[in-house]
Amino acid sequence: MKNYDKYRIGYFVPPVNEYDWVKKDHIEKAPRWCSVDLRDGNQALIVPMNLEQKLEFFTYLCEIGFKEIEVGFPAASDTEFEFLRTLIEQDMIPDDVTVQVLTQSRRHIIEKTFESLVGAKHAVVHLYNSTSFAQRQQVFRKDKEEIIKIATDGAELMNEIAARYTDTDFEFEYSPESFTGTEPEFALEICNAVIDIWKPTPEHKVIINLPATVEMSMPHVFANQVEYMSKNLHSRDSVVLSLHPHNDRGTGVADAELGLLAGGDRIEGTLFGNGERTGNVDIVTLAMNMFTHGVDPELDFSDMPRAVEMFEKFTDMTVDPRRPYCGSLVFAAFSGSHQDAIAKGMKWRAETDPTRWTVPYLPIDPHDVGRQYDGDVIRINSQSGKGGVAYIINRDHGFDIPKAMRAEVGYMMKGISDHTHEELSSDEIFDIFSREYINFFSPLDITDATFSYFSSTKEEGEKTVAVRMRVVIDGEVYNIDAEGNGRLDAVANGLKKTPYNFDYRFITYTEHAISTDSSSKAAAYICIADKDGHEYWGVGTQYDITLAAVNALVSALNRMNKKEHMVK
C-alpha cells in the first residue's frame, strides 16, 4: 500500500464539540424507521426489481412493521411512476403507512412527483441537493449561496405545488446530500433556510435528514456532527432529525447508534444493509441490537429465516452466513469451550430463571428470531469438545452421558470429523455413539437373566443376589447359575464359570430414564478397567433397568475384548 499519502481527511468537525451523547450508554426507544429498500436498495441491484417484485416486497415491508417506506424517484422513470400509481390505485398502502418519494430541486421534477401522489392519504416528499465541499467545487462549480438557492427554491416550490393537492397529508423532508463531506456550519445554514421556508409546527413537523452519503469518519465524529445539528436547528421541537448512514467504512450501524444518542429521531436504511457501493445501514442489525438491550424495536423479525428468504428472493443477493442475527452460522458454536459454556448456561437457565436470557456466547435466544437449538447452536466438527457432543446427544436423543465418559466420546467425534474434514450432524453423532457403545452384543451376549434375592446367614440384613442366565459367547451357549453381593457381581461371578477369562474390575455405574412416560426405556452406563487400568465404557438400554445394566456391562466387556482379545 504505497499510495496512502494521496489521501486526506475529507470531513469537517463542528465548531463546537459538546459530547453530551457520550453520557448515554444505550438507545432507550426505537426511532422512526423508514425503509429505502425499494429506492436506494433497488437502484443498487445489477438487475432492478420488476413491478411484481416491488409490490410483493412492499407488502412484506408493511407486514414486518415499517410505517414509512420510500418507494422511489417517480419523476425519474416510468417504471417507478407506475409502481407508485399501482400502490395507490390498487389501495395497497395501509392507512397507517406513509409512502416517501424523492425529488431533485427542479420545477418539472417536483411537479411530476406531486402528480404521482394523487390519491395517496399520506406522503413524505423528500427534497435533496448535494452540499459537500467536493461536489460544490468539482461537480456543480457553485458557491455556497448558489447551493443554498437550489435548496430554498425547491422548498418554496414544494409549498406552492402542495397547496394544489389538498386531499393528501404531506410531510416535507430535506437532505443536504453528502452531509458528511459538508462543513457543519454550512449544513446548518442551508437546513435552517429550508426550515424557515416550510415553517413547521409541533403538530406538523418537517424532516431534516442527515445522510452519510459517503461514510468518511469514525462514528464518534459523525455523532458530534449530528449533535451540533440537533442543538442548533431552527424550530427543533418541530423537526424530526433523520439519519441515513451508508457503510463505506464498515461502521454504518455504529454511525446510526451513536447518531441516535446524539439527537437522531429517525433512521433511513435497508434490510441487511443493501444499497449503493457498500450499502446503507443494516436495519436488521440495528433493530436487533436494541432488542438485546430490552428495547422493543417496533419491527418484527421473529421469523428471521423468512426475512432472509424474502430479501434473497427479491434482490438475488445472498446474506452472509456470519451476518449478525440472521446468518446461517451466527448461533453455531464449534469450539469446545464455547459449547461447554452454552450447554451449562442452558441448563442453568432451565433450573433457575427461564424468563431471562443470560446464556454465554449467545446474545439472543435463537427461538426469538425463528431459529432452533436443534442444528443451530451446538455444531460438531474437529474443533468441538466433550460438552458440545454430550449436549447434542442429550438434547436430541435423551442420553445423559456421565461426566467421566464425555471426554472419551468427545475426542472420538473430533477424530472422526478431523479425518473426514466434515461437520457431523446430530444423527451422525448418535449413530456413531450407538454403534460404539450401546447394546454392543458381540462376541459376548447375555440373552436372558433372572435375578432372585435371599437373606444371608453371615450378617443380619445383608442379602445375596442369585442369577440364572443364558450366555452366548462366540456362538456357544452357556446356561449358568451364580451368586453375588449384587446384580452385576452375580453376573461377573457367572461369567467366570465360562471357559473365558473376563478379568476386569468395576469403576463406576450410573442410570437414568430416557423419557418420562410410563413405557420409557432406561439407560445404564458402566465403566470397567482391565488389569493394566485401561478403562472401557458400555451403555445399555432396556425397559427394565436391571437388564439395561446387564446390557451395559456386556457392551463394556465387548469393547474391552477388542483390545484384550479375551474371546479370540
Do residues 216 and 249 share a domain?
A: yes
Q: Is 331 part of a structural domain of the chain? A: no
Q: Is 325 part of a structural domain of the chain? A: no
Q: What is the CATH number of the domain that holds 207?
A: 3.20.20.70
Do residues 426 and 303 share a domain?
A: no
Number of domains in the chain: 4
Q: What is the DSSP string of 213-269?
A: SS--S-HHHHHHHHHHHHHHSTTGGGEEEEEEEB-TTS-HHHHHHHHHHTT--EEEE
Residue 378's pLDDT band (cuts 50, 70, 90) = low
Task: Tell me whether the omega of the peptide bond preceding residue 31 falls within 30 degrees of 0, making it cis.
Answer: no
Task: Give the integer Cα–Cα distance in Å for 113 and 305.
Answer: 36
Task: Give the integer Cα–Cα distance in Å for 490 and 451.
Answer: 9
Q: Is 568 part of a structural domain of the chain? A: no
Helix (H, G, I), strand (E, B) or coil at 484: strand
* Cβ within 8 Å of residue 27, ≥6 positions away: 257, 260, 261, 289, 290, 293, 295
Helix (H, G, I), strand (E, B) or coil at 136: helix
Report CA dihedral (466, 468, 473, 476) to the nearest 10 degrees.
150
- 342: amino acid identity, one letter: I
- Please indicate if the annotation marks 246 as binding a ligand: yes
- 547: amino acid identity, one letter: L
68 within 8 A of 32, measured Cβ to Cβ: yes
> For residue 568, is pLDDT > 90?
no
Of 437, 464, 479, which residue constitutes the final position of a domain?
437
- Please indicate if the annotation marks 220 as binding a ligand: no
Do residues 255 and 342 share a domain?
A: no
Average pLDDT over every residue of 226-243:
98
Do residues 133 and 250 share a domain?
A: yes
Provide the grid cell at 475. Answer: 456362538
> For residue 336, is pLDDT > 80?
no
Do residues 405 and 257 share a domain?
A: no
User: C-alpha angle 114/115/121, rounded to 5°?
Assistant: 70
pLDDT at 455: 65
Do residues 295 and 347 share a domain?
A: no
Do residues 139 and 275 share a domain?
A: yes
Q: Is 448 part of a structural domain of the chain? A: yes
269 within 8 A of 257, measured Cβ to Cβ: no
pLDDT digits (tens, 9 = 90+) for 78-96: 889 999 999 999 999 999 9
- Please indicate if the annotation marks 224 as binding a ligand: no
- Please indicate if the annotation marks 280 as binding a ligand: yes
Do residues 233 and 126 share a domain?
A: yes
Could you tell me which residue, 254 or 328, shows the higher pLDDT?
254
Do residues 360 and 395 share a domain?
A: no
207, β-bridge pairs: 173, 240
Average pLDDT over every residue of 292-312:
97
Q: Is 498 part of a structural domain of the chain? A: yes
Do residues 418 and 290 share a domain?
A: no
Q: Is 400 part of a structural domain of the chain? A: yes
Residue 414's pLDDT band (cuts 50, 70, 90) = confident
Burial per residue of 267-283, b for 16 or more beta-carbon CB atoms within 10 angstroms, e otherwise: bbbbbbbbbeeebbbbb
pLDDT digits (tens, 9 = 90+) for 457-476: 555 555 789 999 999 999 99
Question: In terms of residue numbers, what domain contains 489?
Answer: 444-561
Average pLDDT over every residue of 63-86:
95
